[in-house]
Structure 1
Amino acid sequence: MACQQGKTKDEMVVSLQTIKKTHVKPRKKLGRRECQLVTFDLPYLAFYYNQKLMFYKGGDFEGMVAKLKDGLEQVLEEFYQLAGKLGKDEEGVFRVEYDDDLDGVEVVEAAAEAVAMEDLAAEEGTGIFKDLIPCNGILNLEGLHRPLLAIQLTKLKDGLAIGCAFNHAVLDGNSTWHFMSSWAQACGGSPAVSASPFLDRTKSRNTRVKLDLSLPPDPSSLSSNGDHAKSAPPPPLLREKVFRFSESSINKLKSTINSSTPSDGSMPFSTFQALSVHIWRHVTKARDLKPEDVTVFTVFVDCRKRVDPPMPETYFGNLIQAIFTGTAAGLLMAHPPQFGAGIIQKAILAHDAKAIEERNKQWESEPKIFQFKDAGTNCVAVGSSPRFKVYEVDFGWGRPEGVRSGSNNRFDGMVYLYQGKSGGRSIDVEITLEAGVMEKLQLDQEFLEP
């Protein structure tokens, strides 16, 4: 193992050797193509690149890399936007620009041969991932001069790590895993992707919004009087941990919360709502909030079937919106779980085509670029989805040994839900919390074993 004596896996010092950097383009010439970014895309310009890490068993690193790059050339013929860059038209409207002369997708080959699979499979921490995934701390706005997709293929002691950084202004989670599964199909010998991406974003929204955005100054730069700029107070120490909920635990959560018929006429609670309120209540408990403190629940909802007219599942881009709801911590904890689940359900059901349209019009009249951490007070913010078949992404050497998010776009209360590694209806819950709160949560047996 690569752990030094007395070090946790999150504090590992990785000896990484960069072998070479190349760029991969679509196999066919496609000419010049442009696609306007729309209202669903633009708010994510101030987020960071979305990072995913997958690791696989295998000993033929060179052969695996060759297959991955060959498949990437093929799949980029349809997902060519990922081989482009951000740009602006003559009116200052952001767009994706593709041209055959652009560099394409950046692919770095590296080796960290002291790192084993078991190091990456640890349920806690993401510090080690920073060496294995590109674009740490890189804003999506930097896609004006950076690749929209950067990939690092790292040789491990007993396998291969695939670290991907996607520009979040260009695609959401649904589109990310559509691309990943299509890439795997290409590597598996499929002559064409099973579901072509729907690339015309203006079908979802055609309002042209001009944004005057520039990159923030480097905080390490000198101030105008020659002194070093005042440093901001250090952020709170955060910890990340994966909590694995088995199929039986998920079934128990859902059946328990639906055991009593709601008196207000609400629908039965979904698996998502049952698990979400379980997380929300126990994180709130671990935070030891005052009864009058407000706690916010935020979820990034897929709007493909909610907009009018509905968009296809293969819509490529961002078609998500953040939904915010909340209550006093005392009310959330004093009532049974059905109370919090009802709040979540009501907010999700209310976010219909009319609500989406109103949100878009309001934003277009007064665009506000939020930072990734603006999810609310004492929040629990849920992203990703267990519906994404992440453990079915097989490039030709079996299912991944693990799937994780990188260190970007993390803040106190951020939650990623993934298809459970153990299969069935199991769900893996990746949570970021302040260190003291995480310590309490992982000792909460009612949370761990519902």
Structure 2
Amino acid sequence: MSSHPTVEHISQWFIKPHLPPNDSKPICHLSPWDVLMLSIQYIQKGLLFLKPSPPHNPPFSIDSLLGRLKHSLSLTLLHFYPLTGRLVTARPPSYSVFVDCDNSEGARFIYAKLDMTVSDILSPIDVPAVVQSFFDHDRAVNHDGHSLPLLSVQVTELTDGVFIGCSMNHCLADGNSFWRFFSAWSEIFRAQGDNYGSDDVCIPISHPPIHNRWFPAGCVPPINLPFKHHEEFISRFEAPPLRERIFHFTAESIAKLKAKANQESNTTEISSFQSLSALVWRCITRARSPSRDQRTICSVAADNRSRMEPPLPEEYFGNSVSTVAAETTLGELLEHDLGWAAWKIHVAVANHNDKAVRELMKKWLESPTVFQPDRFFDPYGVMISSSPRFDMYGNEFGMGKAVGVRSGYANMFDGKVMSYPGREGGGRIDLEICLSPATMTALESDDEFVNSVSLQSVSAFGSV
């Protein structure tokens, strides 16, 4: 029996808008991008805050915070009403999955407690396993949204802090949409102030979501899937034992990587993020020490909104993301320099345009399928998701700026890398890297990697 403190659930509520949502529709059809996610796990991301210390006016009260969070969430769901629904499957003569926006209890809101400090979460070298308990819907896949809430918020009170974790069904939203929801919630929380007793208001937000789903030419919803039962396309993936670490990269270090990559490739087109991605790809692959002819792939999540012609609005709420991949062998990757690897990633990203997106959708419509978790678990690959462009630290809930971003168990595997903006901004980037214990140990001793990581990260394992 574990002697470590465990998260205790105190109470829960179900939250729905107090008013009928504006221009809401009873049914939300899923686009091809959304349907692809049915067997993937929920998005689980959250923010860690320090409780305001005395003297603070008014004094911090968890009951007051919970009241304001619940009410502002209700007001936010006026704008994001599909998140209060449930998935429904229509059967013969067709087989399609859609969102029933009306017939459900709403979004779940949980209050939990943990006898640990903020330092207990942030100080250890590895992200503590208890962080996975900061999120609801542990190991649930999106298809489970037939019976589970499509959105669940868990507020975990620590001794000196508060963690706000959201589990959102990935069929409803990608990372862009997830953080736009979080930002809207924060905006409404600040706008309502302490006057959260009135239910008959609709607080406007600066970037209202657009719920009209994008469908390729010739595709008329609902999408008919070539299945008779969900067991034909739903699988459940259990990650092997992993170590999970946060690595910090300063703007200066990233600028050096970019300059080096462009110089070595005799170009000026390689971006900062492509240079950093190339570094991570090379170093993780070297740490794994596969054979020289082993194929290795670096996959990067790419937002399709700006790549479409005409572009989709940034406020498009739903999935609009694809993975682009650079592929080579271990021998080629390590025989060549950083710039060579960065250029391969750059070309893959640059070629992912409107034509490429529509061609992918055309092929999918000819033979609809669903992403399987095993597809992402490539023992020699690296998958980079999330984005340092997402406004994570701009979200405040009366406790000042968050002190950290953390993820749940969902969609983690050996080689998964999640990118976040650095807390202090200014071009800093944090990477949350998941690797097997042996590979992580090797990465921590990789000179090329260590020389680029902030001392804030490397000091923990003795490098200077």
Structure 2 length as normaliser, TM-score? 0.86
1:250 paired residue number:
254
Cα offset for 1:18?
1.9
The answer to whether 1:270 aligns with 2:284 is no
2:346 paired residue number:
345
Classify 1:278/1:132 alpha carbon distance in 2 versus 1 (closer, same or farther; 3 Å): same
Cα offset for 1:385?
0.2
CA distance in 2, matches of 1:60, 1:12: 29
In the alignment, structure 2 segments of 5+ residues that lack a partner are 52-59, 193-202, 453-464
1:130 paired residue number:
132
> Which residue of 175, 200, 210 maps to 2:224?
210
CA distance in 2, matches of 1:357, 1:203: 10
The answer on whether the counterparts of 2:216 and 2:358 sit within 8 Å (CA) in structure 1 is no
Alignment of 1:268-347 (within 5 A): 268-347=269-348
For the residue of structure 1 that corresponds to 2:209, the secondary structure is: coil
The answer on whether the counterparts of 2:39 and 2:235 sit within 8 Å (CA) in structure 1 is no
The answer on whether the counterparts of 2:6 and 2:130 sit within 8 Å (CA) in structure 1 is no
The answer to whether 1:17 aligns with 2:31 is no
Classify 1:291/1:55 alpha carbon distance in 2 versus 1 (closer, same or farther; 3 Å): same
Alignment of 1:414-429 (within 5 A): 414-429=416-431
CA distance in 1, matches of 2:215, 2:397: 32
> Which residue of 232, 244, 258 maps to 1:240?
244
The answer to whether 1:77 aligns with 2:78 is yes
Larger mean CA deviation between 274-283 and 56-65 belongs to: 56-65
The answer on whether the counterparts of 2:239 and 2:413 sit within 8 Å (CA) in structure 1 is no
CA distance in 2, matches of 1:325, 1:16: 41
CA distance in 2, matches of 1:188, 1:15: 31
What one-letter code is carried by the residue in structure 1 that aligns with 2:39? A
What one-letter code is carried by the residue in structure 1 that aligns with 2:204? A
The answer on whether the counterparts of 1:304 and 1:319 sit within 8 Å (CA) in structure 2 is yes
Cα offset for 1:372?
2.8
CA distance in 2, matches of 1:215, 1:79: 30
Cα offset for 1:423?
2.2
Larger mean CA deviation between 52-61 and 297-306 belongs to: 52-61
The answer to whether 1:167 aligns with 2:166 is no
1:156 paired residue number:
158
Cα offset for 1:443?
1.9
What one-letter code is carried by the residue in structure 2 that aligns with 1:140? N
Could you tell me the percent identity over the aligned residues? 32
> Which residue of 171, 184, 187 maps to 1:185?
187
Larger mean CA deviation between 360-369 and 77-86 belongs to: 360-369
Classify 1:215/1:157 alpha carbon distance in 2 versus 1 (closer, same or farther; 3 Å): farther
> What's the CA shift string for 1:306-335, capped at 9, x where partnerless?
122210000000000111221011111011
CA distance in 2, matches of 1:336, 1:219: 39
For the residue of structure 2 that corresponds to 1:364, the secondary structure is: helix
For the residue of structure 2 that corresponds to 1:87, the secondary structure is: strand
CA distance in 2, matches of 1:84, 1:20: 21
Cα offset for 1:130?
2.3
1:44 paired residue number:
37
CA distance in 2, matches of 1:129, 1:217: 30
CA distance in 2, matches of 1:300, 1:340: 17
1:224 paired residue number:
none
> Which residue of 196, 208, 214 maps to 2:208?
196
CA distance in 1, matches of 2:287, 2:251: 25
CA distance in 1, matches of 2:165, 2:280: 28
The answer on whether the counterparts of 2:263 and 2:339 sit within 8 Å (CA) in structure 1 is no
For the residue of structure 1 that corresponds to 2:328, the secondary structure is: strand
CA distance in 2, matches of 1:276, 1:54: 24
For the residue of structure 1 that corresponds to 2:191, the secondary structure is: coil
CA distance in 2, matches of 1:347, 1:12: 48
Cα offset for 1:139?
0.7
For the residue of structure 1 that corresponds to 2:375, the secondary structure is: coil
Larger mean CA deviation between 348-357 and 206-215 belongs to: 206-215
The answer on whether the counterparts of 1:382 and 1:414 sit within 8 Å (CA) in structure 2 is yes
The answer on whether the counterparts of 1:204 and 1:311 sit within 8 Å (CA) in structure 2 is no
What one-letter code is carried by the residue in structure 1 that aligns with 2:436? E
For the residue of structure 2 that corresponds to 1:66, the secondary structure is: helix
- Number of aligned positions between the proteins: 424
What one-letter code is carried by the residue in structure 2 that aligns with 1:201? R
What one-letter code is carried by the residue in structure 1 that aligns with 2:142? N
1:109 paired residue number:
111
In the alignment, structure 1 segments of 5+ residues that lack a partner are 5-10, 221-231
CA distance in 1, matches of 2:188, 2:131: 26
The answer on whether the counterparts of 1:297 and 1:326 sit within 8 Å (CA) in structure 2 is yes
CA distance in 1, matches of 2:387, 2:234: 34
CA distance in 1, matches of 2:413, 2:152: 23
The answer on whether the counterparts of 1:294 and 1:377 sit within 8 Å (CA) in structure 2 is no
2:358 paired residue number:
357
CA distance in 2, matches of 1:261, 1:300: 23
The answer to whether 1:28 aligns with 2:19 is yes
> What's the CA shift string for 1:415-436, capped at 9, x where partnerless?
0000012321110001111110
CA distance in 2, matches of 1:69, 1:173: 23
The answer on whether the counterparts of 1:296 and 1:377 sit within 8 Å (CA) in structure 2 is no
Classify 1:306/1:159 alpha carbon distance in 2 versus 1 (closer, same or farther; 3 Å): same
Larger mean CA deviation between 393-402 and 326-335 belongs to: 393-402
The answer on whether the counterparts of 1:418 and 1:429 sit within 8 Å (CA) in structure 2 is yes
For the residue of structure 2 that corresponds to 1:391, the secondary structure is: coil
The answer to whether 1:412 aligns with 2:426 is no
> What's the CA shift string for 1:141-163, capped at 9, x where partnerless?
00011100011111110011112
The answer on whether the counterparts of 2:379 and 2:415 sit within 8 Å (CA) in structure 1 is no
The answer on whether the counterparts of 1:83 and 1:105 sit within 8 Å (CA) in structure 2 is yes
